[in-house]
Amino acid sequence: MNELMCGSCFFTPNICWFNRVAQNFNKRAVLAFIVMLAPFNALADNVTASITLLDAEQSPVKDGVVIFTPLFDLPSTETKNSEAESTPKTAIMNQINKQFAPHVLVVQKNTEVTFPNADNVFHHVYSFSPTKQFELKLYKEFTAEPLFFEQAGIVDIGCNIHDWMLGYIVIADSPYFVKTADDGNAGISLPAGKYSVEFWHPNAPNEKPFIESEVELTSDKSFTLTLTKVIASDDDFDDGFGDY
């Protein structure tokens, strides 16, 4: 057998020595492989919940809000992400063409919301909702100081000058929420596990389209939610109130 040099000495390796070297190499390779796969395992623990919202005539419904609240301890990576996001988050409720945009804004608790005015007319934004009462005095082409929304719930907002202006801010305790788009669809990726589910829509606030109040998400899942009433479209909305 060939001799190997160790320092200034030569020695003759035997079969056992080769086996030990191979075993140590294999252990290091396996550990490296596990470390490399860790991010993929974390991703594999996430599932996708897909929502389709329809009204009583099977027409797609936009602005439906679904909140998933985990009934389990979140993975450590999710907890670290939550801690990293502990600084106030920001969102925007704009005023465009004498309408609130978006009509429904969904944010997590402890979010700052700004109310920029993109119109060249005055607005006087207010809310008498128990969740958050406020008043933003007359201003135009101006962004008022942001408001901090620290309590979960629904906030109705209006304009004292333009009575038809109405918007909603939904404040969720959970970071997992979706709002249906114009086609009635929405999707979200979230950790696998058991969740309580809440639904809300401005024109159907008391509807409970989920069969159960809790859902178990162990793999990708689709939900088709059907309301018991017809939701009128606002695509042809015309304020008809002139230029005040």
Mean pLDDT by 10 residues, the chain (244 residues): 50 54 53 45 75 98 98 73 59 94 97 92 94 87 86 97 95 98 98 98 96 96 97 60 49
* pLDDT at site 187: 98
**Closest residue by Cα to residue 131 from 164, 105, 157, 112:** 157
Give the C-alpha separation, 16 to 28, whole Å. Answer: 19
88-173 is classed CATH 2.60.40.420: yes
Q: What pLDDT is recorded for position 227? A: 98
pLDDT computed for residue 144 by the predictor: 79
Whole-number pLDDT of residue 118 = 87
What pLDDT does residue 184 have?
A: 98
Q: What pLDDT does residue 171 have?
A: 98
85 HSE (CA, 13 A, CB side): 13
CATH class of this structure's domain 47-85+175-231? mainly beta
pLDDT of residue 74: 86
Q: What is the pLDDT of residue 23?
A: 61
pLDDT at 153: 98
pLDDT value at residue 42: 42
CA distance 148 to 243: 31
Question: Helical H runs in the chain?
Answer: 15-44, 76-84
